[in-house]
């Protein structure tokens, strides 16, 4: 490496670290109640990837899935990948998507009655309640939905489980449960939590992404739909109105709204928060915190040049990618790399997971 270039990189990283530490020494500015609520959510989500990183959970995930079936499918995909547009890891992820949706996890519109086993019109929602605050909660249940079977006149509960290890056993739920369980398995298969990030949409949906070394970019994944590399799926195919989409990795968080939302159809962020500027600053604040925390916990020598290459270069590269999307200058590599079934434009209109009534109520049944 040219010594002068190394000196500049070291200086830049040192200044970045110094500025970040100065910023984090000040209280985070959030002057309105909606902005404060939003940033509390961001703060909580910034730690999301922690629960998928523990080795014990990853081992449980590998024990729970049929690795033989998955890798047999990968071998079949590899034999037809003649142009080498996809790398081996990409084929593994594609096969996992298919396996997870069609053989491992089950969608729940309404819980089945344990007596008559009906799960349609016989099950009438009667409300819900939070999980008791002082009770042991190993499954990390957030809320409990309640239903009554009109045939048997018995009450049925549907706990919303948030512990991904528990979901390896129950294997059912809606988008939150699907993504929680899928991300744990994906991290286990890739054996690298830093190659996966959790993606959250303000308008009540979640999905994830993985970093493809072969494609050299982050790739969209939605296990509920078995969707691969379809970032326009939500606004274009579902007709979903959205305001914010944020990504949370092990090392940083980032605003991915330009990647997933058409600017002409975006809900004005001013309708969601009091100050979009304070929200933008808050996201950068948590990104700085995570970058520095990951650096300090990495076990590598604490040098500015290591921080530059291991953390700042990937982070800045991703910021540039999102900025290009915001400017309308992003390329569309998915058109040439996605398998035929992965085109948002050619897929059936509207969300495929969930009942028709549910998707209509959420504004996800297709463009209006």
CA 81 to chain centre: 27
For the question of residue 214 being annotated catalytic, the response is no
Distances (CA, A) of 179 to 46, 168, 174, 267, 366: 16, 12, 9, 24, 22
The length of the chain in residues reads 368
CA pair distance 40, 191, nearest whole angstrom? 30
* Per-position DSSP letters for 300-340, written without gaps between them: S---HHHHIIIIIHHHHHHHHHHHHHHTT----THHHHS-G
Active-site pick, 222, 229, 251, 255: 222
CA pair distance 24, 28, nearest whole angstrom? 8
Map tokens 């933008």 to a residue: 280
Active-site pick, 205, 208, 229, 255: 205
For the question of residue 222 being annotated catalytic, the response is yes
Smallest CA-to-CA distance from 250 within 89, 24, 93, 51 is with 51
Helices then strands, counting H and E runs in the chain, come out as 14, 11
Torsion of CA 208, 210, 211, 215, to 10 degrees: -100
For the question of residue 175 being annotated catalytic, the response is yes
DSSP 309: I
Active-site pick, 175, 181, 208, 253: 175
User: Catalytic residue positions?
Assistant: 175, 205, 222
């Amino acid at each position: 490496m040219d010594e002068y270039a190394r000196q500049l990189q070291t200086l830049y990283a040192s200044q970045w670290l110094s500025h970040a530490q100065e910023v984090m020494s000040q209280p985070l500015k959030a002057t309105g109640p909606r902005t404060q609520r939003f940033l509390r959510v961001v703060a909580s989500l910034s730690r999301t990837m922690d629960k998928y990183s523990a080795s014990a959970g990853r081992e449980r995930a590998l024990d729970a899935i049929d690795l033989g079936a998955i890798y047999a499918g990968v071998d079949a995909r590899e034999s037809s990948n003649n142009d080498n547009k996809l790398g081996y890891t990409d084929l593994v992820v594609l096969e996992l998507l298919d396996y997870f949706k069609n053989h491992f996890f089950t969608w729940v519109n309404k819980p089945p009655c344990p007596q008559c086993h009906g799960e349609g019109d016989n099950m009438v929602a009667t409300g819900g309640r939070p999980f008791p605050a002082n009770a042991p909660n190993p499954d990390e249940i957030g809320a409990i939905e309640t239903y009554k079977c009109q045939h048997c006149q018995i009450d049925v509960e549907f706990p919303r489980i948030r512990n991904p290890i528990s979901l390896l056993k129950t294997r059912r739920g809606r988008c939150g449960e699907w993504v929680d369980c899928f991300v744990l398995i994906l991290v286990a298969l890739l054996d690298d939590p830093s190659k996966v990030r959790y993606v959250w949409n303000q308008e009540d949906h979640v999905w994830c992404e993985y970093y493809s070394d072969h494609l050299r970019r982050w790739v969209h994944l939605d296990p509920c739909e078995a969707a691969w590399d379809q970032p326009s799926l939500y606004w274009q195919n579902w007709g979903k109105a959205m305001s914010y989409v944020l990504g949370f990795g092990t090392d940083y968080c980032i605003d991915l709204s330009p990647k997933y939302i058409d600017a002409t159809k975006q809900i004005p962020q001013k309708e969601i928060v009091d100050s979009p500027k304070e929200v933008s600053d808050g996201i950068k604040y948590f990104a700085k915190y995570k970058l520095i925390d990951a650096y300090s916990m990495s076990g590598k020598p604490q040098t500015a040049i290591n921080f530059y290459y291991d953390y700042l270069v990937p982070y800045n590269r991703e910021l540039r990618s999102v900025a290009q999307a915001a400017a309308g200058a992003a390329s569309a590599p998915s058109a040439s790399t996605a398998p035929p079934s992965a085109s948002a434009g050619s897929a059936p209109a509207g969300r495929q997971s969930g009942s028709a009534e549910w998707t209509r109520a959420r504004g996800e049944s297709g463009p209006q």
